[in-house]
Structures are given as structure tokens and as C-alpha cells.
Amino acid sequence: MPLYDKILILTGAGMSAESGLSTFRDKDGIWSQYNYEEVATPEGYAADPERCLEFYNKRRVMHRDIEPNQAHKALARLEAEYPGEVIIVTQNIDRLHEEGGSKRVIHMHGRIDQALCQSCGQTYDISYKTLNVDSVCPACKCQGQQRPNVVWFGEIPYFLDEIQKELVSCFLFLSIGTSGSVYPAAGFVNLARKAGAHTVELNLEPSDGAVQFHEAHQGKATEIVPAYVDRLMYEAAIARKEVVQ
């Protein structure tokens, strides 16, 4: 394993599963309990804003009571100690990467602890507070136009230009805890691979796009992520001749 100048890590719901957050498509996942068209599309919000806001209000409370797990902490250690750049692109709307100590985190699907005013476009922190149909925008003072700052189906994810730049310039692309069923994130492996990166999947089971990875490891994130990070750190130490073999 060489020393990588830049590592790009894509994470999904499986990363936070062992912190107590449900995934989306596993048995008993969020989309087995809710119709995504009602709670995760602009049309669902327009049809019944109260139902949609309530879905996120409930989830926000769940997010308040969780802690980063050993996989989040391992990625933070990698960023702090690895001799190359380490960047996380997450589809998760939780704050567990940051709370685990990671600094360079790109939230491509937004953040549940922020609101977005549909009238003026302002985003603002709401922490674990609720949003309702009467909530007022702190910037333009309008009422009734507030929604979670979360990307819904049919909307364009955030920071795609920045992500694209990192994808085509990374040397190792790691995908962790994602089923690979939602684009554009599901296509990142292909972009990184075409640009010459070594591609690795760490997931409980092979994802929909598993064949596109050079290497895959199956297991729980809290076990396979720290082990993979240890391996990267060890190989980096060998490459820098810090370890006597």
C-alpha cells in the first residue's frame, strides 16, 4: 500500500448505524416506515408541510442523544495523523463526524441542525429545536417558509463542484456504509477510479456498486473502519521508514 497524497472518504447511513441512527434501506430502515415522497421531496413538503416538518423534528430529537462511534473517531484520527490530506464527503445529515473530531467534512445532503428559508434562501443553525409551519426566518422575518436544510429527492446536492475536484485528484477513494443506490454519490467511485484512484468499499454487505471497487471489506463500521485506518497508518509509517520490518 503506497502513501496516498489525498484520501477522499464517502460516508453513508451505515457509518452512524452503531451510534443508534437507523439506515434508510435496511430491514426496518427509515424508508420502510415512511413514504419518502411524503417527507423527502419538495412536492411532499408542499402537499403537507406539517407532516414533513414533524418527520424531521422527530429525527432531530434522536440526533440530540447520540454519540460518535469508533468508526467516526478512527476517521478523525486518520485526518489528524495521516501524512496526506483526508477529506470526508458525507451523505449523512448528522454531526457525528465533527463531534468525533473530523475537521474537513462536506455535507452534500445538508444538515438536520440547520433550517433553510425558502423565501430568502438563508440557512441558519437551529440546533435541536423544532421547526413548524409558523416558524419565522431570522434574516427576512417571513413566516411559514422554513424547512430543514436537507437535500430532498429531485434536488441537487450541495458542493458538487468542490466534490468533483477532490474526486478527480484523490489517490484513494473509500466508501463507507452506503448502499450505493442514490446518485450522484453512487457514481463517485466511478469518477475517482477513472481518474486513477484506488477504490475501496467498507460496508456491512456488498453495495449495489460493489463491482466498481478494487477492494472490499465487509463487517460493522466500528470494526472494519478502525482496522482499515490502522492498516493505512502502518503502511504510511513503512513508506516513511518509521517502522523496522
179 and 208 Cβ atoms separated by less than 8 Å = yes
CB 53 to ligand OAD: min, Å: 15
CB nearer ligand OAD, residue 93 or residue 172: 93
CB 2 to ligand OAD: min, Å: 26
CB nearer ligand OAD, residue 133 or residue 210: 210
* Nearest residue to ligand OAD, scored by beta-carbon proximity: 14
Member of 146, 149, 207, 212 binding ligand OAD (CB under 6 A): 207
Reading across the β-sheet that carries 198-203, which strands appear in turn? 105-107, 85-90, 6-11, 172-176, 198-203, 215-218
- The answer to whether residue 12 forms part of the interface with ligand OAD (CB under 6 A) is yes
Exactly one of 63, 97, 109, 198 is catalytic; name it.
Answer: 109
- The answer to whether residue 24 forms part of the interface with ligand OAD (CB under 6 A) is yes
Member of 3, 18, 169, 195 binding ligand OAD (CB under 6 A): 18
14 vs 176: CA distance, rounded Å:
7
Residue 21 grid coordinates: 441512527
- The answer to whether residue 115 forms part of the interface with ligand OAD (CB under 6 A) is no
- The answer to whether residue 210 forms part of the interface with ligand OAD (CB under 6 A) is no
**Is 109 a known active-site residue?**
yes
CB 5 to ligand OAD: min, Å: 27
- Residues 145-184 vs ligand OAD: string with x where CB under 6 A? ------xxx-----------------------xxx-xx--
Q: Which of 52, 8, 11, 12 is nearest to 152 (CA)?
A: 52
CB 111 to ligand OAD: min, Å: 12
Residues 129-148 touching ligand OAD, rule: CB under 6 A, are: none
25 vs 73: CA distance, rounded Å:
25
Residues forming contacts to ligand OAD in the complex (CB under 6 A) are 12-14, 17-18, 23-26, 29, 40, 91, 109, 151-153, 177-179, 181-182, 203-205, 207, 220-221
Active-site positions read 109
